[in-house]
Amino acid sequence: MKKITILLSMLSIVSFGQTNVDFESGSTGASWTWTVDQNSSNPALEIVANPNTSGINTSATVAKFTATGAGEPWALTYTDNMGSFTFSENNSIVKIKIRKDIPTPVGVKFEDTSVPPPYPSRIVEVPNTQVNGDWEELTFNFSIAIGETFNRMVIIPDFYDRSIDTTIHF
């Protein structure tokens, strides 16, 4: 099975194979427009130096999401720059490398914004287990969406009702 890999330090969107999109200077993910929503004042998604280049994520640059204490549990960031793609048996696995301090569900959602709202969508949630500052790779199985077409990717990095600001890297 081919994979769609989201490494919040590297993103992969796949139509017919695996393609990595990272946040390194001049790379695709760094040039994409990322919108933050449902996060109180909606602080911008930042592209920053990787705070931990040991282990499974040695990338120099990653995305930093600040989930505000006043934001919704589903505070999110999304991009419409990935283009339209259809899930198939060969590209229904999404992976993300994430760095967090608390074990909470991470949501990856795809939407079809080519039709009026509410947009058709599919979401899969997976909890992280690493909370010691190490990177963790999470796997999201989108086989439920085979045959469906999407053009927006949504990351909900800390699906949690929080009372203080938390920082998540991906």
Amino acid at 32: W
Whole-prediction pTM? 0.88
* pLDDT one-digit tens code per residue, 35-61: 999 999 999 999 999 999 999 999 999
> Cα separation of 46 and 62, whole Å?
8
* pLDDT one-digit tens code per residue, 136-150: 999 999 999 999 999
> Cα separation of 103 and 34, whole Å?
24
